[in-house]
C-alpha cells in the first residue's frame, strides 16, 4: 500500500508522542492496518453515543468538520458519521481520523508503559463499566500489541455488542436539526452522498452475502474432494502394497526358476556322467568276459596237469585266500569302514572260508587216494565243477582286491583349512589354494586349521571341483573371527542388524550381499561371524521357523558350542608356555597336525604315524606324556606303546580327533605332565 506524505507525517507524530519505541511501532502498525480496512460506520456511531458532548465537539474540530448544534437538540451523531465517511476518500483525512480515534481510546489503556494483552483482557469488566463497551471494543481494535487473543476477542465482540441506541441506522436526526437557509444546498448534497453511500453499502453487503454463500459451497466441495482424495490415497497405498508383494513373488519365482535351471543342468551333467560310466562298465564287462573265457580255457588245460602240480596250486590258492581274509579282518577292526562296506566284507570272508573248506576237502581226496573209493564219473564232474567255480571266484576276487597294484587310486592332496569371516580357504601341500563357501564349512563342520584330504576332479564345463574329507579337526578358538548365536533385527531405514542373544550391546550391521542372498526376516534366529576388529556381521546360517525338535535342538547345540569356543578364546591370553621342557610323544596322524599345538605349550614333540612303532619306543621311555590318535595305520601300534607307557609310568591320553581336544587335554593335564617331567629329571 502506498503511504502518502500526510500519513508519514502522522506516523512521525505518533513516534514522538510515546517514550517507548515498542509502543510507537505498535501504533504505527495499527495506523497502517486500519488504513487498509473499510470505514466502520456502525462501530463509530455506537462509540459516539457513549461519548460526552464535549468530546464529540473536540473530535469534530480535530477532524475539521463544522457542526452547528442547537442547545435544545442533541448532538447529530448520524450526520457527523456521514460527514466523516465523506472525508474517508482522502488518505490524509483517514489517517487523521485513525489518529483521533487513538486519542479518544488512549485513556482506556491506563499506564501505557505497562500495557499488555493479558492484563487488558483480564480487566475487561472494569474497563467496560468505566468507559463503556464500545470504548473497550475500539481499544481492542486499536490495540498496539499484536496478539491472537486480542483478535479473537475483537471478533466475538463485533457479534455480541448491541448498538448504543435503539434507533436504526437511518439518518433521522438531520430532519430535526434546524438548518440555516444558507446551508440547505450543502445539506442536500450531503444527504445525496449519504443515500449513495447507503446504496453502495447495501450492494456491498449483498455481494458479501453472495460471496459467503459461494465460500460455503466451495468449502463443501473442498471437503468432498478431500474425502475422495483420502479414499484414492488409501486405494493407491493398497495397490502399491499389492504391486510390491507381486514384485517380491515374481523375484522369488525367478530365483526358484534359476535354481531349477541350475539343478536341471547339474542333473543333465550327472546323466551324461552316468552314461559314460555305463558305457565304460559295458566295455569293461566285455573285456572281463573275454578274460574270463581265456582263464576258463586255461583252467581246463590245467585240469589235465598231474595231481602233484594241481595240489601245489590249490595250496597256494588257500594261502592267498587266507591273506585276503586277514586284510578284510584288519579293515573291520579299524572301524573306519561304513556299515554297508562292513556287511560286504563279512560276506566275502564267509565265502572265502567256504571256498577254503572246499579246497581242503579236495586236497584230502587227492592226498589219500587209496583209502577212499574212487568216485564215479558224476561225482568227479561235481568236484571238478566245484573246483572250477572256486577258482573262478578266486580270480574274480583278485581283480576286486583293494590292493595298490589292482586298484586305481585317484590323485589326492593333503591340506589345511583356514577360517575367514565368511567361508575360508584350503592351502594344499602342492601349493594350490582354493576358497570354500560358508555353507560347505557348516556342512563338513570345519574349524580353523583343520587338516583335510582333497580329491580334485574335472567337471563337464572344464572347472575343477574338490571332494573334501576331514582328517583332523581344527580349533575355532584360534580363528581370526568371533562367532555369535543371535537374531536378526530390522531397524529404521530398512537396516538389518545381527544381535548377540547373550549381550544385546553386541549389535552389528549385516553385510549387504548376505541380505540380498539370504533375505533375513526380523526376529529370525541366526548364527553369524564377525572378523576381529570387524564392523559387519556375516550370516553363517539362518534358522527360519525352527521346529520344536531338530531345529531347536540344533540351536542349543550351536549356542553351547559357541559359548565353549568363546570361553576358550578368552582363555588364550592367560595361557603361556606351561609345558616348557616337557617331552610329548604322539602316535597316529601326521606330525604337522600337532606341531603348532605342542609348540604353543613350549614342549618338545616326538611323532610316529604308526607304521614302525619300534622307532618311537626309546623316546617313549623318556617321555612325559603319550597321546594316541586312532587311525587305520596306528591301530596296531597303540597296544605296544600303551604297554611301554604303563611300564614306565608315562601318562597316556586318547585324542578325540581335533586340535581343540588336544589343547584341552594338554591344559587339563598340565600338572600331571609337569610332575612326570620333574620326576624323570
pLDDT for residue 386: 40
The stretches of 428-483 forming alpha helices (DSSP H) are 438-444
> Does the residue 238 lie in any domain?
no
- 481 DSSP β-pair partners: 531
Please tell me the predicted confidence (pLDDT) of residue 42: 82
pLDDT at 478: 87
Region of poorest pLDDT, from 177-181, 309-313, 348-352, 508-512 = 177-181
Q: What is the 3-state secondary structure (H, E, C) of 368-410?
A: CCCCCCCCCHHHHHHHHHHHHHHHHHHHHHHHHCCCCCCCCCC
380 and 450 housed in the same domain: no
Residue 191 lies in a domain: no
Sign of the CA dihedral with 34 first, then 39, 40, and 45 last: positive
Q: Name, in order, each residue with C-beta under 8 angstroms of 310's C-beta and a sequence gap of 6 or more.
A: 302, 303, 366
Q: Rounded mean pLDDT of 626-642?
A: 85
| Plot region of 522 (φ>0 → left; ψ -120 to 50 → alpha; else → beta) | beta
Do strands 625-628 and 583-587 pair parallel, antiparallel, or not at all (unpaired)? parallel
Q: Are residues 310 and 387 in the same domain?
A: yes
Position 168 scores a pLDDT of: 39
Are 521 and 466 contained in the same domain? no
Q: Which residue has the higher pLDDT, 395 or 323?
A: 323
Nearest-angstrom CA–CA distance, 324 and 402: 9
Residues 510, 638, single domain; the answer is no
Residue 241 forms part of a structural domain? no
| Whether the predicted pLDDT of 379 surpasses 50 | no
- Residue 166: the pLDDT is 42
Do the bridges between strand 433-436 and strand 451-458 make them parallel or antiparallel, or are there none, so unpaired?
Answer: unpaired
pLDDT digits (tens, 9 = 90+) for 245-265: 999 999 999 999 988 988 999
**Confidence bin at 449 (pLDDT 50/70/90):** very high
Domain count, the chain: 5
* Burial of residue 137, with CB atoms counted within 10 A of its CB: 0-12 exposed, 13-18 middle, 19 or more buried: buried
380 — pLDDT class (breaks 50, 70, 90)? very low
Same domain, 466 and 496: no
pLDDT (mean) for 609-623:
89
Buried b (16+ CB within 10 A) or exposed e, 170-202: ebebbeebeeeeeeeeeeeebeeebeebeeebe
Would you place residue 108 in the very low, low, confident or very high pLDDT band (cuts 50, 70, 90)? confident
State the pLDDT at residue 512.
92
Weakest-pLDDT range from 396-400, 477-481, 534-538: 396-400
Note the pLDDT of residue 116: 84
- Tell me how far apart the terminal alpha carbons of the chain are, to the nearest angstrom: 113
Rounded to whole angstroms, the Cα distance separating 193 from 189 reads 6
Count CB neighbours of 266 within 10 A.
Answer: 12
Q: For residue 515, give the C-alpha cell.
A: 541380505
The DSSP code sequence of 123-164 is: THHHHHHHH-HHHHHHHHHT-SS--HHHHHHHHHHHHHPPPS
pLDDT score recorded for residue 407 = 42
Q: Which of 345, 369, 400 is the last residue of a domain?
A: 400
CB atoms closer than 10 angstroms to residue 97: 21
Residues 374, 509: one domain? no
Q: Which of 141-155, 157-171, 395-409 has the lowest mean pLDDT?
A: 395-409
Q: Which three cell numbers stand for residue 593?
A: 597336525
Lowest mean pLDDT among 18-22, 301-305, 556-560, 562-566: 556-560
Using one digit for the tens of pLDDT, what is the confidence trace for 319-341?
A: 888 888 778 777 777 777 788 88
Secondary structure of residue 500 in the 3-state scheme: strand
484-514 b/e with 16+ CB inside 10 Å = b?
bbbbbbeeeeeebbbbbeeeeeeebebbeeb
What's the whole-number mean pLDDT along residues 582-603?
Answer: 91
**pLDDT value of residue 173:** 41
Residue 515 lies in domain: 476-571
Q: What is the pLDDT of residues 300-318, one digit of tens each?
A: 776 655 555 677 788 788 8
Whether residue 32 has pLDDT greater than 80? yes
Q: Which phi and psi (to 5°) does residue 674 adopt?
A: -65, -40
Select the more confidently predicted residue: 413 or 365.
413
**pLDDT (0 to 100) of residue 533:** 87
Question: Same structural domain for residues 94 and 29?
Answer: yes
Q: In this structure, are residues 470 and 456 in contact, taking their beta carbons and an 8 Å threshold?
A: no
Q: What is the CATH number of the domain that holds 435?
A: 2.40.50.140
| 429, pLDDT greater than 70 | yes
Three-state secondary structure call for residue 629 = coil
Whether residues 389 and 532 fall in one domain? no
Burial of 283 (0-12, 13-18, 19+ CB in 10 A): exposed
More confident residue, 621 or 393: 621
Task: Give the cell for residue 506.
Answer: 553386541
User: Does 446 map to a domain?
Assistant: yes
Q: Within this chain, do residues 364 and 423 fall inside the same structural domain, yes or no?
A: no
Q: Is residue 76 part of a domain?
A: yes
Distance CA(489)–CA(520), nearest Å, equals 9
Query: What average pLDDT does range 74-80 have in this prediction?
Result: 80
Chain mean pLDDT for the chain? 79
- The pLDDT, as a whole number, for residue 423 is 93
SS3 of 536, please?
coil
Query: What are the two backbone dihedrals, phi and then psi, of residue 100, each rounded to the nearest 5 degrees?
Result: -65, -40
Q: Which residues contact 423 (CB under 8 A, 6 or more apart)?
A: 435, 436, 437, 438, 440, 441
- Nearest CA to 626 out of 590, 594, 663, 654 is that of 654
**Which band of pLDDT confidence, cut at 50, 70 and 90, is reported for residue 623?**
very high
Which positions ≥6 away from 122 have C-beta within 8 Å? Answer: none
Q: Residue 403: its pLDDT value, please?
A: 44
Q: Do 436 and 558 sit in the same domain of this protein?
A: no
In degrees rounded to 5, what are phi and psi of residue 325?
Answer: -60, -40
State the pLDDT confidence band at 102, using cuts at 50, 70 and 90. confident
Note the pLDDT of residue 63: 84
Which strands, in side-by-side order, build the sheet including 652-654?
A: 604-608, 583-587, 625-628, 652-654
564: domain CATH number?
2.40.50
Distances in whole angstroms, Cα of residue 264 to Cα of each of 254, 273, 408, 439: 15, 14, 31, 21
Residue 142 lies in a domain: yes
- Any idea which of 165-174, 243-252, 532-541 has the lowest mean pLDDT? 165-174
Confidence of residue 98 (pLDDT cuts 50, 70, 90): confident
- The helix, strand and coil proportions of the chain, stated in percent and rounded to the nearest 5, come to 60, 15, 25
Last residue of a domain, one of 178, 213, 242: 178
Supply 391's cell numbers. 577258482
Tens digits of per-residue pLDDT, 644-656? 999 999 999 999 8
pLDDT recorded at residue 357? 79
What gap in Å lies between CA 469 and CA 453, rounded to an integer?
5
The pLDDT, as a whole number, for residue 309 is: 62
d(C-alpha 394, C-alpha 273), whole Å: 31
Taken in order 391, 395, 400, 402, is the CA torsion positive or negative? positive
**Closest listed residue to residue 214, CA positions, set 537, 102, 206, 183:** 206
Cβ–Cβ under 8 Å, residues 60 and 68: no
Please check whether residue 210 lies inside any domain of the structure.
Answer: no
Identify the pLDDT of residue 654: 92
* Grid cell locating 460: 563337464
Q: CATH number of the domain at 627, please.
A: 3.40.50.2300
Q: Across the strands, what pairs with 435?
A: 425
Is residue 219 one of the residues assigned to a domain?
A: no
Residue ending a domain, choose from 155, 178, 201: 178
78 lies in the same domain as 162: yes
CA distances to 335, 402, 412, 455, 633 from 409, rounded to whole Å, are 21, 10, 9, 11, 18
Lowest mean pLDDT among 230-244, 330-344, 362-376: 362-376
pLDDT digit string, tens, across residues 113-139: 788 888 888 888 888 888 888 888 888
Q: Is the pLDDT of residue 244 over 70?
A: yes
- Reduce the DSSP state of residue 516 to 3 states and report it: helix
pLDDT number for residue 669: 93
- For residues 373-378, average pLDDT: 38
63-79: average pLDDT: 74
Sign of the Cα pseudo-torsion (562, 563, 564, 566, in order): positive
312 and 345 belong to one structural domain: yes
Amino acid at each position: 500500500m502506498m503511504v502518502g506524505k500526510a500519513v508519514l507525517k502522522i506516523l512521525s507524530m505518533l513516534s514522538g508522542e510515546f517514550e517507548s519505541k515498542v509502543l510507537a511501532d505498535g501504533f504505527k502498525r495499527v495506523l497502517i492496518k486500519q488504513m487498509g480496512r473499510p470505514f466502520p460506520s456502525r462501530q463509530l456511531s455506537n462509540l459516539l453515543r457513549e461519548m460526552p458532548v464535549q468530546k464529540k465537539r473536540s473530535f469534530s474540530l480535530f477532524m475539521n468538520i463544522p457542526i452547528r448544534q442547537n442547545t435544545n437538540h442533541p448532538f447529530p451523531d448520524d450526520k457527523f458519521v456521514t460527514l466523516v465517511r465523506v472525508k474517508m476518500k482522502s488518505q490524509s483525512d483517514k489517517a487523521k481520523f485513525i489518529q483521533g480515534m487513538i486519542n479518544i481510546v488512549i485513556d482506556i489503556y491506563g499506564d501505557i508503559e505497562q500495557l499488555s494483552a493479558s492484563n487488558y483482557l483480564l480487566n475487561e469488566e472494569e474497563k467496560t463499566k468505566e468507559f463503556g463497551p464500545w470504548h473497550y471494543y475500539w481499544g481492542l481494535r486499536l490495540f498496539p500489541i499484536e496478539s491472537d487473543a486480542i483478535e479473537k476477542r475483537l471478533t466475538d465482540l463485533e457479534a455480541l455488542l448491541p448498538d448504543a441506541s435503539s434507533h436504526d441506522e437511518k439518518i433521522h436526526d438531520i430532519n430535526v436539526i434546524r438548518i440555516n437557509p444558507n446551508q440547505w444546498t450543502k445539506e442536500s448534497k450531503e444527504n445525496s452522498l449519504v443515500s449513495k453511500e447507503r446504496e453502495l453499502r447495501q450492494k456491498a453487503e449483498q455481494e458479501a452475502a453472495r460471496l459467503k454463500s459461494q465460500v460455503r459451497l466451495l468449502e463443501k466441495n473442498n471437503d468432498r474432494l478431500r474425502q475422495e482424495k483420502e479414499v484414492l490415497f488409501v486405494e493407491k497405498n493398497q495397490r502399491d502394497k499389492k504391486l510390491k508383494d507381486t514384485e517380491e513373488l515374481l523375484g522369488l519365482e525367478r530365483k526358484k526358476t534359476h535354481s531349477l535351471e541350475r539343478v536341471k543342468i547339474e542333473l543333465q551333467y550327472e546323466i551324461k556322467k552316468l552314461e559314460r560310466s555305463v558305457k565304460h562298465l559295458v566295455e569293461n564287462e566285455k573285456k572281463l568276459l573275454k578274460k574270463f573265457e581265456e582263464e576258463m580255457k586255461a583252467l581246463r588245460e590245467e585240469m589235465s596237469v598231474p595231481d602233484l602240480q594241481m595240489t601245489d596250486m590249490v595250496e597256494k590258492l588257500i594261502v592267498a585266500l587266507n591273506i585276503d581274509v586277514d586284510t578284510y579282518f584288519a579293515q573291520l577292526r579299524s572301524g573306519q569302514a561304513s556299515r554297508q562296506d562292513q556287511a560286504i566284507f563279512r560276506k566275502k570272508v564267509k565265502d572265502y572260508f567256504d571256498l577254503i573248506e572246499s579246497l581242503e576237502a579236495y586236497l584230502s581226496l587227492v592226498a589219500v587216494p587209496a583209502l577212499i573209493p574212487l568216485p564215479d564219473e558224476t561225482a568227479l564232474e561235481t568236484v571238478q565243477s566245484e573246483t572250477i567255480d572256486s577258482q573262478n571266484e578266486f580270480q574274480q576276487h583278485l581283480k576286486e582286491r583293494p590292493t595298490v597294484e589292482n586298484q586305481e587310486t585317484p590323485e589326492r592332496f593333503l591340506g589345511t583349512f583356514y577360517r575367514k569371516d565368511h567361508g575360508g580357504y584350503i592351502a594344499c601341500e602342492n601349493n594350490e589354494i582354493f576358497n570354500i563357501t560358508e555353507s560347505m564349512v557348516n556342512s563338513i563342520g570345519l574349524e580353523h586349521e583343520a587338516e583335510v584330504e582333497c580329491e580334485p576332479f574335472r567337471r563337464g564345463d572344464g572347472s575343477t571341483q574338490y571332494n573334501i574329507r576331514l582328517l583332523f579337526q581344527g580349533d575355532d578358538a584360534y580363528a581370526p573371527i568371533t562367532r555369535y548365536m543371535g537374531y536378526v533385527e530390522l531397524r529404521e531405514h530398512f537396516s538389518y542388524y545381527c544381535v548377540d542373544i547373550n549381550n544385546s550391546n553386541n549389535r552389528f550391521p549385516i553385510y549387504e550381499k548376505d541380505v540380498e542372498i539370504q533375505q533375513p526376516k526380523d526376529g529370525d534366529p541366526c548364527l553369524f561371524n564377525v572378523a576381529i576388529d570387524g564392523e559387519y556381521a556375516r550370516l553363517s546360517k539362518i534358522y527360519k521357523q525352527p521346529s520344536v525338535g531338530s531345529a531347536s535342538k540344533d540351536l542349543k547345540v550351536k549356542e553351547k558350542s559357541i559359548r565353549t569356543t568363546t570361553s576358550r578364546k578368552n582363555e588364550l591370553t592367560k595361557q603361556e608356555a606351561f609345558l616348557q621342557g616337557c617331552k610329548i610323544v604322539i602316535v597316529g596322524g601326521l606330525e604337522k597336525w600337532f606341531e603348532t599345538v605342542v609348540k604353543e605349550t613350549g614342549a618338545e614333540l616326538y611323532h610316529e604315524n604308526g607304521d614302525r612303532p619300534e622307532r618311537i619306543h626309546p623316546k617313549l621311555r623318556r617321555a612325559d606324556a603319550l597321546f594316541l590318535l586312532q587311525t587305520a595305520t596306528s591301530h596296531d601300534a597303540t597296544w605296544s606303546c600303551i604297554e611301554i607307557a604303563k611300564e614306565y609310568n608315562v601318562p597316556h591320553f586318547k585324542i578325540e580327533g581335533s586340535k581343540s581336544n588336544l589343547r584341552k587335554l594338554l591344559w587339563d593335564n598340565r600338572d600331571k605332565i609337569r610332575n612326570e617331567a620333574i620326576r624323570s629329571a
